[in-house]
Amino acid sequence: MSDVMSNPGRGLQTQDARARRRHRAEVRFRAYGVMAIATGLILLVILLGTIVSNGTGAFRQAFVEIDVYLDPAKLDKKGNRDIADIKKVSTFGYAPLAQQALLAEIEARGIETPLRKAKEMKNLLSSSAAAQMRDLVIAQPEMIGQTVSFRLLASSRVDGYLKGRVMRENIAKDKNISVEQLDLTDALIQAGVITSGFNMAFITGSDASESRPEQAGIGVSMLGSLFMMVVVLVLSLPIGVAASIYLEEFAPKNRLTDLIEVNISNLAAVPSIVFGILGLAVFIQFAHLPQSAPLVGGLVLTLMTLPTVIISTRAALKAVPPSIRDAALGVGASKMQSVFHHVLPLAMPGILTGTILGLAQALGETAPLLLIGMVGYVATNYPGGLASGFLDPNSAMPAQIYEWAKRADPAFYERAWGGIMILLAFLLMMNIIAILLRRRFERRW
Amino acid sequence: MYDMNKQETAVTQKEIKFSARDVQVYYGDAHAIKDVSVELEDKTVTAFIGPSGCGKSSFLRCLNRMNDTIDICRVEGDIKLDGEDIYHKAVDPVQLRARVGMVFQKPNPFPKSIYDNVAYGPRIHGLARTKADLDEIVEKALRRGAIWDEVKDRLSAPGTGLSGGQQQRLCIARAVATEPEVLLMDEPCSALDPIATAQVEELIDELRKSYSLVIVTHSMQQAARVSQKTAFFHLGSLVEYGETAQIFTNPVDERTESYITGRIG
């Protein structure tokens, strides 16, 4: 100011060197900020783009639509339609029927192919196709002797061929598909026998063995994750909120509470696998809870989530202005009344957001589950009830994804990406719920 | 506005509400209040004046044990309300605070409706049996707080949506709703403009008929306007206590004179 006044020749509209330098520094700093955000956005787009482009394949599946004659001579040799006898026929009894039906379909449509034997159709059909037929027959034995239209799973090679994963030039050493079979596949697609459709079974189904990726689904492990989240929510919210309220509002400030505080902060930074081995030692080896059970997984994840919940709850409680506590105490409310009537409702949005973010963190956690055995081949069907949901062996979404990514067949790799898409969808949903709850409670009076 | 000579004769017959003897307050190692002994009269406005950090607010907060909420704070000495020691082990600070209400420096309505703000105290103390009782208590308190006419049509509106002066009167209404015997006010007008201040002061003068009031203030004019008794604190000690008129016109202590004439403070 005095500078300008002592130099009447320089007006306000001309910048001196100092101002220019300051101005340039500010512009530069803003540019760095924009660059940082742009980099972040580009990386995010690349990440999401990769996930979507790799994972969408999992949601489509090739099917073979054929009419199969359920030959009584093969399926019910005694002819008595006794369910016990029918069950004795394994999937090996059904597979030839499907293969013959496909061959008959090819001949009926006049498709030319060097493949003349039923056995040569094996690689086109999934090995679970026979299981599909057997399930139907066991459910409805009266179908034996009839010709039934089936929408059978195609093999993972045919499925991969439709998605561009399997190509003629790289199957030279592949025993599970040949060039002739791919030619035939082309013809069958033309004829409308092989079709591609939405793969509901991927979302609802269970894991499948290594040789039939086309059958694997994430549904059962999704349930496993759900049961774990129930355990985590039911335990970590009340324990975490109670601990935070005590520490923040009631506990005397002394060495002991300082120590507890430091330890809670440190626990939040402890690698999750440590909680896994703790869970293994305490819950499984000492308390003898069942292995691989969502109950144990939930307990371990609760341990992991608690520090997060406590830290965010305490931050939310701290953010409530002390004048509100004074006001309540001033009209003669007890400490507890002031906390429960005034402080807690005001801190609620923060507490809920923290808890849901803690849950989201727990949902994506894999490492501790490896140690308590909640990973591995769980191809069981859906749990029969609440108790079995908590206590029966199950997997969890991230553990299932990890399992698939480990397997050799590239078809499983595709499912792993698909699983990640579903997992991300869940995380997104939880974040949206957190935002909505926040809004709702903030408007409350 | 205020006739000093008339008041002087009037207040001397009143009975003692609070009596404090040799009160010491420590914050950790800091000795914040030293040997304060004072007797506060009923149905009287007593003003605590003094420079910042002299302990007047700390002493005020001893009177309803709000200092209990500060971990490092320690209070020694005797404080009696109607002859009962308020720091006795058997005293529940919650019951004490129901009898000794408090209004704070910054208006601090609950983020609830105007009605709920006032109704909260009576609710937790079980003063109303029916909804109609509660409505009556709320209306009476809001009338006493001289804010009824302004808010009667929007009792369900949030208390935080009012102007600063209205919020402070709402807080006073909230404090009187529990029918306290003493009302402590910690710089109730420091966040208000002159017009709102005048309204609150008028209200204080009105409330004097039913309550004993203690007001901490930085404004000597305010102390002179609203109080009958004045206590001057300096560096943690009670320097002088007496009739307001006497303190402001003929102080005994040199420090009091320096402060009220603006030489220190």
Closest residue in B to A337 (Cα–Cα): B124
Cβ separation of A327 and B125 shorter than 8 Å? Answer: no
User: Which runs of E-coded beta strand occur in A128-190?
Assistant: 147-153
Tokens 């997997």 belong to residue: A395
Query: What pLDDT sits at residue A242?
Result: 95
Whether A213 maps to a domain, the answer reads no
Work out how many domains chain A is built from and give that number: 3
Window 34-63 of B: residues touching A by CB (8 A cutoff) are none
Assess whether A31 and A68 both reside in one domain: no
| CB contacts, 8 Å: B71 with chain A | 252-253
Cβ separation of A332 and B124 shorter than 8 Å? Answer: yes
Assess whether A245 and A374 both reside in one domain: yes
Query: What pLDDT sits at residue A285?
Result: 92
3-state secondary structure of A216: coil
Q: What is the mean pLDDT of residues A180-203?
A: 89
Assess whether A330 and A190 both reside in one domain: no
Whether A156 maps to a domain, the answer reads yes
Assess whether A178 and A242 both reside in one domain: no
Residue from B197, B168, B196, B193 nearest B183 by CA:
B168
3-state secondary structure of A42: helix
Cβ separation of A326 and B64 shorter than 8 Å? Answer: no
Tell whether A332 is within 8 A of chain B (Cβ): yes
| CB contacts, 8 Å: B112 with chain A | 445
Tokens 């727990």 belong to residue: A362
Cβ separation of A329 and B120 shorter than 8 Å? Answer: no
Query: What pLDDT sits at residue A17?
Result: 87
What pTM was computed for the model? 0.81
Helices A272-279 and A294-319 pack at an angle, to 10 degrees, of 130
| CB contacts, 8 Å: B177 with chain A | 331
Cβ separation of A342 and B110 shorter than 8 Å? Answer: yes
Query: What pLDDT sits at residue A380?
Result: 65
Question: Rounded to an integer, what distance in angstroms lies between the CA atom of residue B192 and that of residue B107?
Answer: 9
**Measured between CA atoms, how close is A325 to chain B, in angstroms?**
9
Buried b (16+ CB within 10 A) or exposed e, B121-160: bbbbbebbeeeeebeebbbbbbebbbbbebbeeebeebbb
Helices (H), chain B: 4-11, 56-63, 93-99, 114-124, 131-144, 148-151, 164-177, 194-207, 220-226, 244-249, 254-260
Tell whether B161 is within 8 A of chain A (Cβ): no
Helices B131-144 and B114-124 pack at an angle, to 10 degrees, of 110
Assess whether A50 and A94 both reside in one domain: no
| Regions of chain B with pLDDT less than 70 | 1-13, 264-265
Whether A212 maps to a domain, the answer reads no
Question: Rounded to an integer, what distance in angstroms lies between the CA atom of residue A388 and that of residue A393?
Answer: 9
Whether A214 maps to a domain, the answer reads no
The least confident of A105-119, A363-377, A382-396, B198-212 is: A382-396
Cβ separation of A330 and B64 shorter than 8 Å? Answer: yes
Q: How far is CA B16 from CA A32, A129, A402, B240, in A?
A: 70, 97, 78, 18
Cβ separation of A323 and B104 shorter than 8 Å? Answer: yes
Question: Rounded to an integer, what distance in angstroms lies between the CA atom of residue A260 and that of residue B32?
Answer: 31
Helices (H), A56-78: 72-75
Assess whether A123 and A182 both reside in one domain: yes
Assess whether A190 and A286 both reside in one domain: no
Q: What is the mean pLDDT of residues A141-145?
A: 84
| CB contacts, 8 Å: B108 with chain A | 321, 323-324, 326-327
Q: Which of A321, A329, A341 minimises the CB distance to B97?
A: A329
User: In the listed set A16, A33, A55, which residue is the last one of a domain according to the structure?
Assistant: A55
Assess whether A301 and A419 both reside in one domain: yes
Positive or negative, the CA dihedral A123, A127, A130, A133 is negative
User: In the listed set A55, A75, A92, which residue is the last one of a domain according to the structure?
Assistant: A55
Question: Rounded to an integer, what distance in angstroms lies between the CA atom of residue A220 and that of residue B155?
Answer: 54
What type of residue is A237?
A: L
Helices (H), A246-343: 255-268, 272-279, 294-319, 322-330, 335-337
Query: What pLDDT sits at residue A315?
Result: 93
Assess whether A162 and A290 both reside in one domain: no
Q: What is the mean pLDDT of residues A289-296?
A: 89
User: In the listed set A206, A231, A248, which residue is the last one of a domain according to the structure?
Assistant: A206
A238: domain range?
A: 219-441
Closest residue in A to B178 (Cα–Cα): A331
Which of B57, B67, B94 is the mutation pick for testing A, counting most A CBs within 10 A?
Answer: B94
Buried b (16+ CB within 10 A) or exposed e, B7-45: beeebeeeeebbebeebbbeeeeeebbeebebebbebbb
Question: Rounded to an integer, what distance in angstroms lies between the CA atom of residue A151 and that of residue B33?
Answer: 89
Measured in whole angstroms, the distance separating CA A366 from the mean position of its chain's CA atoms is 11
Domains plus CATH for chain B?
4-108+182-260 (3.40.50.300)
Assess whether A245 and A389 both reside in one domain: yes
Q: How many CB pairs under 8 A join A and B?
A: 67
Assess whether A250 and A397 both reside in one domain: yes
Which range, A94-108, A141-155, A293-307, has the best average confidence (pLDDT)?
A293-307
pLDDT digits (tens, 9 = 90+) for A16-47: 888 889 999 999 999 999 999 999 999 999 99
- 3-class secondary structure per residue, B206-255: HHCCCCEEEEECCCHHHHHHHCCEEEEEECCEEEEEEEHHHHHHCCCCHH
Q: What is the mean pLDDT of residues A70-99?
A: 83
pLDDT digits (tens, 9 = 90+) for A90-125: 888 888 888 888 888 888 888 888 887 888 888 888
Q: Which residue has the higher pLDDT, A380 or B93?
A: B93
**Measured between CA atoms, how close is A439 to chain B, in angstroms?**
16
Query: What pLDDT sits at residue A236?
Result: 94
Assess whether A138 and A275 both reside in one domain: no
As given in the structure block, the two tokens for residue B207 are 């409330």
Query: What pLDDT sits at residue A299?
Result: 94
Q: What is the mean pLDDT of residues A413-441?
A: 90
Query: What pLDDT sits at residue B196?
Result: 83
Cβ separation of B120 and A331 shorter than 8 Å? Answer: yes
**Facing residues of B84 across strands?**
B81
Which range, A74-78, A194-198, B9-13, B260-264, has the best average confidence (pLDDT)?
A194-198
Percent over 70 (pLDDT), chain A: 95
